[in-house]
Structures are given as structure tokens and as C-alpha cells.
Structure 1
Amino acid sequence: MIGYHPGMDDKIPDRTETRAELLPEEQAADSADPEAQARQVLEDSDRRTEDPKPTMRRRPEETA
């Protein structure tokens, strides 16, 4: 399987350090603590991966 999956060893690579490298839009927002921000983003991502919510479905006539 490609990508990160729950239960994988967080040390290969260290996800927090890798994610702490800010994206351009995050740099523009000026993060005071990139590692804390990275931990929060990864925790949220893990939570959504473990308990995915169903995607809302629209019929064609409901779209703009």
C-alpha cells in the first residue's frame, strides 16, 4: 500500500518533522510553532482516516 496508514511506525520518516516543513500558504500565515501545527494536522488526518465520514452526494440538478 502506498502512503501512510494507521499503525505504521511514525519514525519512518518522522512524520512531524516532515510535515513541519511549512507549505507556502502556511508560511504566509506565519506559524509560531510549526512542529505543534504539524502534530495537530497529522492527528486530525489520522482521526479522519480511522473514521471517515461519508461524502455528501448531490444530484446534477442540485449543483450550480
Structure 2
Amino acid sequence: MGETPRPDPERVEARAGDLLPDEAGSADPEAQAAAILADSDERGRDRAGGAVEHRRSGEAPPG
């Protein structure tokens, strides 16, 4: 497997500001947020290797 690309810095900053209570407490919230997003992006890639659409929680379909 190749190297996982770093998430967009704006996404990292937004995610760092939205860490959940069980995620908070890191000495470096932006590094923690970057790791969370990179993991999420990696899991979100389909089997063909394509990228997935990113939505904010308010944009998710009702369910």
C-alpha cells in the first residue's frame, strides 16, 4: 500500500475544533485530527481506489 495523503489543512483545523470528549485530551489536537481524518479517508476509499465524497454532518441524508 502507498503512503496515505495528508488531509486538507482546513479539514484538519475544523476536525480539531470538533473533537469528541472521548477523543479530546491530546497534547496536539491538530495531529490527532489529521490522524483521524487520514484513517477515515483511507477506510472511505472504494475497492477500485477512488476517493469518496466528504460531507459535513449537517449535509448527511436523513436516516
Provide the TM-score with structure 2 as the length reference. Answer: 0.51
Q: What count of residue pairs does the alignment treat as equivalent? A: 39
Q: Deviations over 1:11-63 (max 9, x none)?
A: 6xx11011102211123xx11100001111111111101146xxxxxxxxxxx
SS of corresponding position for 2:26: coil
Runs of 4+ displaced beyond 3 Å: none
Match of 2:31 in 1: 36
Task: Indicate the structure whose relative CO is greater, using CA pairs within 8 Å and at least 6 residues apart.
Answer: 1
Matching residue of 1:62: none
Q: Provide structure 1 residue ranges, at least 5 long, that are not aligned to the other structure.
A: 1-9, 53-64
Structure with greater Cα Rg: 1
Identity %: 59
Unaligned 5+ runs, structure 2: 1-7, 48-63
The 1-side partners of 2:41 and 2:31 are apart by: 15
Alpha carbon RMSD of aligned pairs, Å? Answer: 1.8
